[in-house]
Chains A and B, each alone.
Chain A
Amino acid sequence: MVVWGRLLLLVALGSGIVWLLVRTALFEGRAQAALEPRAVLHAVLDTWPGLIWLARHGILVILAAFLAIRSDLTERRDWIAARVEALALGALALALMSASSHAAAISPGTALTVAIDACHLLGTGVWLGGLVALGALLRAASRDADADDRAHAVMAARRFSRVALVAMLALMGSGVLNALAQVENIAALVGTPHGRLLLAKVAVLVPILGLAAVNRRRLLPALPGPEAMRRLVAFVGVEAMLALVLLVLAAAMTLTTPARHAEPVWPLPVRLSLDTPLDGSATRWRALLASQLAVLGAVALIASFFSLRRRAPLLAGALALAAVAAAVGLPPFVVDAYPTTYRRPLRTYHATSIASGSAIYWGQCAACHHGTPADLRSASTSRRHAGELFWLVSHGRPERGMPAFENRLEEAQRWDVINFIRALGTAAGSKSLGAQVQLDGAWLIAPDFTISVGPLAPGALRDYRGRRMVLLVLYTLPGSRARISELARKYNLLSTLGVEIIAVPMQTSADAIRELGASPPVLFPVVTDGNAAIIATYGMFASGPHAELLIDRQGYVRAIWRDDTGEIQVQVGRLNEEKSVPPFPDDHVH
């Protein structure tokens, strides 16, 4: 075994050097860089993966030196020291891989994800390393007629079975946590190369678990019988081969973009939508019936764990009930899906994008979609994923006479239209927002916009997120002059209460600040460029010559005044008293 250990260590060091050379070539962007000592040194010393490589291979060299010592292990203390030292160095070298893996790129929570990944690697090392060694031991023992050797092999198999169970549990637990961090959702799981490789890993793991269960429950108790020994050798061999397939798949995963960063391509023509309303008594009855069948199935499943004699029929019954429940209950929730259903929008939910989408919509879409049965302000449209709308806009709906816009509009323009449709949908609901802040009622996302004051470097609404509330004032002179003067006088007080005022004249003017006059001094930001996009967007929520919108610290519109009589101070006080804080809205629509 020590000989094998030395050999494998040489393989690890050799493959590590090859890996470094390949990485150098990729890092430099040219193949010949792999053979240039300066480029290799640069890749090792000046990059994080290079430093981790150096640390890992340093440890492997120490391990190699330790294993090269020909020593006497007859004393128990030496025997333990030899194994613990080799195990510790090997585990350290293995766990260090996590420090430059996909897990290390997750932020925040990097330490936790790296620790979970290290746990996954160590679990793999213990399970697979032990499995191959056990396979070799069992094979040798099954050929050997010596009863002592067999007894040792049987003891090793039983011990390994316990260790492997713990390692596999750690492996699967950390694997699930890794998947939650790297894959995040079902669409990324089935729609990206990284997610599909993970599914393939699970598919390979299932027969491994089946073999392990047979080994543990049937074969181990029957040892050292010759038939059981023969079958165990074969099963462990198959398990080890499948485990090597797992390793290849895991290696392929490290070369693919993590699923959470990749654009998922939904492979099915349908998806489940829990947003589907339960309209009609028939649908409600289906849902009720399905839920009761599912409960019965769950009861049968639980009962199967407690009944050894009736386990098989109970399990079959549970599966049958689950299948019937799915067949009865799921159809109302099944909706059409497209390859782009879960695609992330190219454009953020920004006033510039919405205004661009608005111009396209009124020019090319409104004739068929505004105030007609195909009205895009309908609830059914708002329930659709942005990616579905993107597909429909791009490819049209020939059966309903809708043309494809793939060749008429750039991709960014199509996303602009979708951002506008989302804003249009929420604009209808924004009528319910009035002068009173509804506590814990944050739902209307304030689209981001650019704040340009003169020629200074522009800021953005989102710069205030988490720090200050924003009172967005859309004004027209001379009608709004008195209100602007009142706000200018209250600015100090409102600022102390955590509010920034941003004034946007309805007409873009480079002289907007001067036009407000010098007395009283207006000290809050007055937008002098890009007003049209802000007015086009926020005008959907509050039209008229003067409007004020109170945006909370998280980025939601919480109150709208469609005139200049708003009791700002009172509503700001209500927001300051709010205890629960909603999450920051996403920068993209969904």
Chain B
Amino acid sequence: MRVWQVAVVLNLTFAVGLGLGYAGWGRRADALDREFEAARAQVERLERERQACAAGGRAGEQQWDGRGVVRAIYPHLVVVTHEEIRGLLPARTTGFPAASPQLGDSVRVGDPVRFSLRGTLIDDAALVTIERW
């Protein structure tokens, strides 16, 4: 075999090796990363659904737990400055609809609280429990 042919075969092998390496391993690694993230999100969602189910929620509902400070109380709305609620909201001040009008009676403005939200999405998540921290 001539030297130039060796060089061509070598470079082709190198390029094909890189390509196959990426196709067989690099893309697989990317896909595994995505699958892992999706599986983790799924596990977290299932855990929230299990919590909601154990607390008497309907099928498909999830339960999120959070910590915050009460800023305002209305019969059907409690405004809370809260830490990040994993899987739902970043740290900020949010008004949550109260599942029952009496829910806000147990706390006052300025109280640090632990609370639970239940729903299928942020749009229908409602405050189901709130207690002084």
| B-binding residues in A (CB < 8 A) | 62, 66, 69, 71-73, 75, 77-82, 84-85, 453-457, 459, 511-515, 517-518, 521-525
Q: Would you call A85 and B7 a contact (CB within 8 A)?
A: yes
Q: Would you call A513 and B69 a contact (CB within 8 A)?
A: yes
Chain A CB within 10 Å, residue with most, of B71, B91, B108: B71
A472 smallest CB distance to B (angstroms)? 17
B37 smallest CB distance to A (angstroms)? 21
Would you mind naming 19 contact pairs between A and B with Cβ atoms under 8 Å apart?
Answer: A81-B8, A82-B3, A85-B6, A85-B11, A455-B67, A455-B112, A455-B133, A456-B68, A457-B83, A512-B110, A513-B69, A514-B111, A518-B73, A518-B109, A523-B71, A523-B79, A523-B81, A523-B93, A525-B93
Q: Would you call A81 and B82 a contact (CB within 8 A)?
A: no
Q: Would you call B4 and A81 a contact (CB within 8 A)?
A: yes
Check B14 for interface membership: any CB of A closer than 8 A. Answer: yes
A80 and B2 CA atoms in complex are apart in Å by: 12
A455 and B72 CA atoms in complex are apart in Å by: 17
| A-binding residues in B (CB < 8 A) | 2-4, 6-8, 10-11, 14, 67-69, 71-73, 79, 81-83, 91, 93, 108-112, 133
B4 contacts which of A77, A459, A511, A524 (Cβ < 8 Å)?
A77
A430 and B133 CA atoms in complex are apart in Å by: 42
**Residues in B neighbouring A82, C-beta threshold 8 A:** 3, 7
**Residues in A neighbouring B83, C-beta threshold 8 A:** 456-457
A75 and B3 CA atoms in complex are apart in Å by: 9
B81 contacts which of A62, A81, A525 (Cβ < 8 Å)?
A525
**Residues in B neighbouring A453, C-beta threshold 8 A:** 69, 81
A315 smallest CB distance to B (angstroms)? 50
A18 smallest CB distance to B (angstroms)? 26
Q: A66-B10, A518-B73, A523-B81 are in contact. List 17 more A-B contacts (CB 8 A).
A: A62-B10, A62-B14, A69-B6, A71-B2, A71-B6, A73-B3, A78-B2, A78-B4, A79-B3, A82-B7, A454-B81, A455-B112, A513-B69, A514-B109, A514-B110, A521-B72, A522-B72
**Residues in A neighbouring B73, C-beta threshold 8 A:** 518
A411 and B99 CA atoms in complex are apart in Å by: 55
The 10 closest A-B pairs by CB, nearest first: A514-B110, A521-B72, A81-B4, A513-B110, A78-B3, A454-B69, A85-B7, A81-B7, A454-B112, A71-B3
**Residues in B neighbouring A456, C-beta threshold 8 A:** 67-69, 81-83, 91, 112
CB nearest neighbor in A for B69: A454
**Residues in B neighbouring A523, C-beta threshold 8 A:** 71-72, 79, 81, 93
**Residues in B neighbouring A62, C-beta threshold 8 A:** 10, 14
A522 and B91 CA atoms in complex are apart in Å by: 17
B2 smallest CB distance to A (angstroms)? 6
Q: Would you call B71 and A522 a contact (CB within 8 A)?
A: yes
CB nearest neighbor in A for B84: A457
**Residues in B neighbouring A513, C-beta threshold 8 A:** 69, 71, 109-110
**Residues in A neighbouring B8, C-beta threshold 8 A:** 81
A494 smallest CB distance to B (angstroms)? 14
Q: Would you call A75 and B2 a contact (CB within 8 A)?
A: yes
**Residues in B neighbouring A457, C-beta threshold 8 A:** 83, 91
Q: Would you call A518 and B72 a contact (CB within 8 A)?
A: yes
A464 smallest CB distance to B (angstroms)? 12
**Residues in B neighbouring A71, C-beta threshold 8 A:** 2-3, 6
Q: Would you call A69 and B3 a contact (CB within 8 A)?
A: yes
CB contact under 8 A between A66 and B6, given known A513-B109, A518-B109, A523-B79: yes
CB nearest neighbor in B for A92: B14
**Residues in A neighbouring B79, C-beta threshold 8 A:** 521, 523
A432 smallest CB distance to B (angstroms)? 35
A511 and B111 CA atoms in complex are apart in Å by: 8
**Residues in A neighbouring B71, C-beta threshold 8 A:** 513, 521-523
A514 and B79 CA atoms in complex are apart in Å by: 14
**Residues in B neighbouring A80, C-beta threshold 8 A:** 4
A92 smallest CB distance to B (angstroms)? 9
A361 and B29 CA atoms in complex are apart in Å by: 57
CB nearest neighbor in A for B71: A523
Q: Would you call B72 and A85 a contact (CB within 8 A)?
A: no
**Residues in B neighbouring A514, C-beta threshold 8 A:** 108-111
A126 and B125 CA atoms in complex are apart in Å by: 66
**Residues in A neighbouring B111, C-beta threshold 8 A:** 514
**Residues in B neighbouring A455, C-beta threshold 8 A:** 67, 112, 133
CB nearest neighbor in B for A525: B81
A547 and B83 CA atoms in complex are apart in Å by: 28
A72 and B109 CA atoms in complex are apart in Å by: 90
A513 and B108 CA atoms in complex are apart in Å by: 10
**Residues in B neighbouring A77, C-beta threshold 8 A:** 2, 4
A66 and B73 CA atoms in complex are apart in Å by: 78
**Residues in B neighbouring A518, C-beta threshold 8 A:** 72-73, 109
**Residues in B neighbouring A521, C-beta threshold 8 A:** 71-72, 79, 109
A524 and B72 CA atoms in complex are apart in Å by: 11
B55 smallest CB distance to A (angstroms)? 24
B107 smallest CB distance to A (angstroms)? 11
CB nearest neighbor in A for B81: A453
**Residues in B neighbouring A511, C-beta threshold 8 A:** 110
A26 and B112 CA atoms in complex are apart in Å by: 48
A518 and B77 CA atoms in complex are apart in Å by: 13
B92 smallest CB distance to A (angstroms)? 10
A512 and B69 CA atoms in complex are apart in Å by: 12
CB nearest neighbor in A for B74: A521
**Residues in B neighbouring A522, C-beta threshold 8 A:** 71-72
CB contact under 8 A between A81 and B3, given known A456-B69, A457-B83, A457-B91: yes
**Residues in A neighbouring B112, C-beta threshold 8 A:** 454-456
**Residues in A neighbouring B108, C-beta threshold 8 A:** 514
A515 and B11 CA atoms in complex are apart in Å by: 76
A517 and B108 CA atoms in complex are apart in Å by: 10
A227 smallest CB distance to B (angstroms)? 40
A517 and B4 CA atoms in complex are apart in Å by: 86
B27 smallest CB distance to A (angstroms)? 17
A83 smallest CB distance to B (angstroms)? 10
CB nearest neighbor in A for B14: A62
**Residues in B neighbouring A81, C-beta threshold 8 A:** 2-4, 6-8
**Residues in A neighbouring B14, C-beta threshold 8 A:** 62
**Residues in A neighbouring B69, C-beta threshold 8 A:** 453-454, 456, 513
A512 and B111 CA atoms in complex are apart in Å by: 10
A71 and B4 CA atoms in complex are apart in Å by: 10
Chain B CB within 10 Å, residue with most, of A72, A453, A517: A453
A225 smallest CB distance to B (angstroms)? 38
A451 and B128 CA atoms in complex are apart in Å by: 29
